[in-house]
Structure 1
Amino acid sequence: MSFTYFIADLHLSADRPDITSCLMRFLEEEAIKADALYVLGDLFEVWIGDDNVTPFNTAIAAAFKKVSALCPIYFIHGNRDFAIRHTWLDKAGMTLLNEQEVIDLYGTPTLLTHGDELCTKDVAYQKFRKKSRGWWWPRLMLALPLWYRQRVADNGRAESKKNQKNLKPDIMDVTPEEVVKVLEKWGVQRMIHGHTHRPNIHTLSANGKTATRIVLGDWYDQGSVLKVTPTDVLLQSHSFKAN
């Protein structure tokens, strides 16, 4: 049977080999059988530039590249890895999509996005998002030395973790009105996104009809995968322990 996989929020880093091992098993044993694989952002915990070539991110690119020979792979930027550019994506065999992309998923128009733009109640983050996705800030940052970018990234992560402790749960989740607004902007009844780390399938109303919002899970404690077939939608978990 035909099927397509969706993953997001893996937050890969060299100090979490359990996540990496789970991903490698998924790529080698499952992803190669799919019609397509979509990576909806935050593949890495942090990305400071394609020129930061390390054995770790080189190995990740090689693993995806191997899969891409059998299964097309598509990528959407997340809030952690928006600095990924075509140099690394080409090595990984990935095709970059827009931040919001509508695809024909077995006959159902489906909007794909990382999802951070839907969390409009987090005003401070949305201000940073607007700046970081602009034309001048990324160019400025990527022109700086690697060591300085790493320091900025480390400080940013520390500040983010500190701020998240003081945020109410609803602020870190999507704004329902924004979800409806985006669905109606694109004229679709189904959305798939990550970012919130709250895997679920929600039913709502948009465009005067029933709509579906599918949320991908993170990979902190297990591999979280969405499998879509022509007739079904399945949120799956993959254990970090090898069988």
Structure 2
Amino acid sequence: MKRLFISDLHLKDINAPVTQAFFAFLEQKAPNADELYILGDFFEYWIGDDAGNELSDTVANHLKTLSEKHNTRLYFMVGNRDFLVGEDYCAQAGMQLIEEPYKLSGTEILLCHGDAECTSDTEYQKIRQMLRNPQWQQAFLSKSLEERIAFAEQARAQSKEHQEGYALTDLDNSAVTALLEAHNADFLVHGHTHQPGIRDVCNSRYKRLTLSDWDHEIWYAEITGDNAPKLHQFTHDA
């Protein structure tokens, strides 16, 4: 059994290098895997499954081809950017939508996007609570596409302004420890912070693996058989 894990591609342009890198990954690495897990922030933003475009349709076609041609099982977990991705788009792409946290069957390994464990960023946690509220989401999805696009563009602009000279808040070790203990797990695989590496938690009692974004160096995680998760760098010809 080989499982691959990626996150934080922030896809927004079909012709962007990151999009082409993802297609290369699907051709060169993913066909050899039994399972591929996408752990959030796959898209830069998502305003509803009914707002498909050339990018989302092309990405879905590539994923569906991987699933059907190579029998690779695909799993998708939402992030803080694409939390409105739903069952309809996942079905189009041949993916199974999974809730976080998600424990891998037959292992002590837990998966999450990671933003919920950045508990020291209290202002963000307040916003997250609002955005993940089913009533808020239902009200947002009932708006016109034009209204939703305008909201998303404004949110992106505010986020960019907020992040000028600002490093993403890392996961709080106490939150990670509590999460792992609650689910009888000892290893967390996550994204969100764009700081790839494997780190000790709680005096080396636990470990967590952080996936990279795809803007610079690309790192993905691999689990083969009963072995511990490992990070690998992906390079491809431009």
- The residue matched to 1:147 in structure 2 has which SS? helix
| Residue identity matched to 1:145 | S
Query: Where does the alignment leave 5 or more consecutive residues of structure 2 unmatched?
Result: none
| Residue identity matched to 2:84 | A
1:48, distance to aligned residue in structure 2 (A): 0.9
* Residue in 2 that maps onto 1:55: 54
Match of 2:190 among 188, 193, 212: 193
* Residue in 1 that maps onto 2:72: 71
2:216 counterpart of 1:221:
yes
| Residue identity matched to 2:237 | K
1:109, distance to aligned residue in structure 2 (A): 1.6
Count of residue pairs the alignment pairs up? 235
- The residue matched to 2:104 in structure 1 has which SS? strand
> In the aligned structure 2, how far is the partner of 1:15 from the partner of 1:163?
26
* Residue in 2 that maps onto 1:184: 181
> In the aligned structure 2, how far is the partner of 1:223 from the partner of 1:22?
9
1:68, distance to aligned residue in structure 2 (A): 1.4
Query: Where does the alignment leave 5 or more consecutive residues of structure 1 unmatched?
Result: none
2:137 counterpart of 1:138:
yes
Moved more, 69-78 or 233-242: 233-242
> In the aligned structure 2, how far is the partner of 1:132 from the partner of 1:121?
18
| Residue identity matched to 1:102 | K
> In the aligned structure 1, how far is the partner of 2:229 from the partner of 2:98?
22
- The residue matched to 1:172 in structure 2 has which SS? coil
1:237, distance to aligned residue in structure 2 (A): 2.1
Instruction: Give the alignment's Cα RMSD to 1 decimal.
Output: 1.7
Report if the CA contact (8 A) 1:122-1:172 is conserved. yes
Residue-by-residue CA offset, 1:77-125 (whole Å, 9 max, x unaligned): 1000001111111010000111211113xx5321100000010111111
Report if the CA contact (8 A) 1:222-1:240 is conserved. no
> In the aligned structure 1, how far is the partner of 2:183 from the partner of 2:142?
35
Residue-by-residue CA offset, 1:186-224 (whole Å, 9 max, x unaligned): 121111000000001011238xx7211011111112432
Report if the CA contact (8 A) 2:14-2:54 is conserved. no
> In the aligned structure 2, how far is the partner of 1:135 from the partner of 1:241?
43
2:10 counterpart of 1:11:
yes
Report if the CA contact (8 A) 1:103-1:110 is conserved. yes
- The residue matched to 1:5 in structure 2 has which SS? strand
* Residue in 2 that maps onto 1:37: 36
The normalised TM-score by structure 1 is 0.91
Report if the CA contact (8 A) 1:141-1:149 is conserved. yes
1:58, distance to aligned residue in structure 2 (A): 0.2
The normalised TM-score by structure 2 is 0.93
> In the aligned structure 1, how far is the partner of 2:118 from the partner of 2:202?
18
1:165, distance to aligned residue in structure 2 (A): 3.1
Report if the CA contact (8 A) 2:188-2:208 is conserved. yes
